[in-house]
Amino acid sequence: MSVDSVDLPVLPPLEPMLAKAQAKVPDDAGVWSYEPKWDGFRALVFRDGHDVVLQSRNGKDLGRYFPELLDALREETSARCVLDGEIVVPREIGGRIRLDWESLSQRVHPAASRVKMLAEQTPSHFIGFDALAIGDRSLLDEPFRVRRQALAEAVTEKQWCHVTRTTEDPELGAQWLNTFEGAGLDGVIAKKLDGPYVPGKREMVKVKHARDADCVAIGYRIHKSGEGIGSILLGLYRDDGELQMVGGAASFTAKDRLKLLADLEPLREGDERDGEPSRWNSAADKRWIPVRPEKVCEVAYDQMEGNTVHGQRFRHAVKFVRWRPDREPRSCTFDQLDVPLNYDLYDVLES
């Protein structure tokens, strides 16, 4: 759908309002509204009758990847509105409905036939958390408390389109940081009740989990420049004694890339191996070099994903903290990881 097809008081392309990271949930009662932080694809919805534009955070068209969501937005939202929210894919995991990042990430595919198949197999939902316009009225300058009420009125049905829960209670907001992780969410967002919607500005606060783990270095990739380490592949031991890859640490300085290569190159074991292709960059070189599992490193991470404990991986890239020469590789097991509470996704939505 072309952006020229909609005639609304707020038009695409538009940068969404952003959040700055903070270590603790702000506790100024009466100042903030708190809501769960959804871990999906950020999306702005521009609906003008039958015409719907689904815009990504960086201004790209997402509609081609989520055709079933375009239909749902036509059925379940006000005829003329601009909404801010998140695209997610919920699935039943362990008897509970949870967000499934793996299924969501697979939805971005160049082949129309595969998009059609996945739209049927893993249909997406839209979680609304702000309203930018209703009818002919822009809400950008209105306080969040007004926009929130407009959002509740704009989502007319709640089968595929939903409104996130909010609270003005700072204690409950802080509690949600841990409670809702079990449903696949990854933190808490705080918005000023009297604040306007400021596109492209970090006017919200986000609080995510901060955790650490000791992992075994099982391999590395050379940096795209050809000099030093680009990423370190990490593993944890399962109960059956098998070493399972759980993700990688990256984003090193030029100096650290060379130092880390000097640390790992003596442990090189065998030839380069092929890795999984990147979903986001099909041209990315995913070959990696295995090393003997003799070095342990401490890493900082926020969240795991996976259907079972031994099927878990780091959801996002992790940060290398330091080598741990005092740790034995065999002591790096899954039982050091936090196990989130088992929570159902629909408990996170407004009833």
19-to-138, 186, 318 alpha-carbon distances in Å:
22, 14, 20
Burial label, 225 (beta-carbon count in 10 A; 0-12, 13-18, 19+): exposed
The set of catalytic residues is 37
Question: DSSP code of 121?
Answer: H
Rounded Cα distance between 264 and 267, Å, is: 5
Count CA within 13 A, CB hemisphere, residue 172: 12
- Contact at 8 Å (CB) between 183 and 342? no
Rounded Cα distance between 283 and 296, Å, is: 31
- What SS3 class is residue 330? helix
Q: Which of 153, 133, 130, 131 is nearest to 9 (CA)?
A: 133
Question: DSSP code of 184?
Answer: T
Contacts of 266 (CB under 8 A, 6+ apart): none
What six digits make up the tokens of 270? Answer: 């065998």
β-sheet bridge partners, residue 229: 222
Amino acid at 219: G
Question: DSSP code of 265?
Answer: G
What torsion, rounded to 10 degrees, do the Cα atoms 36, 42, 48, 49 define?
Answer: -70
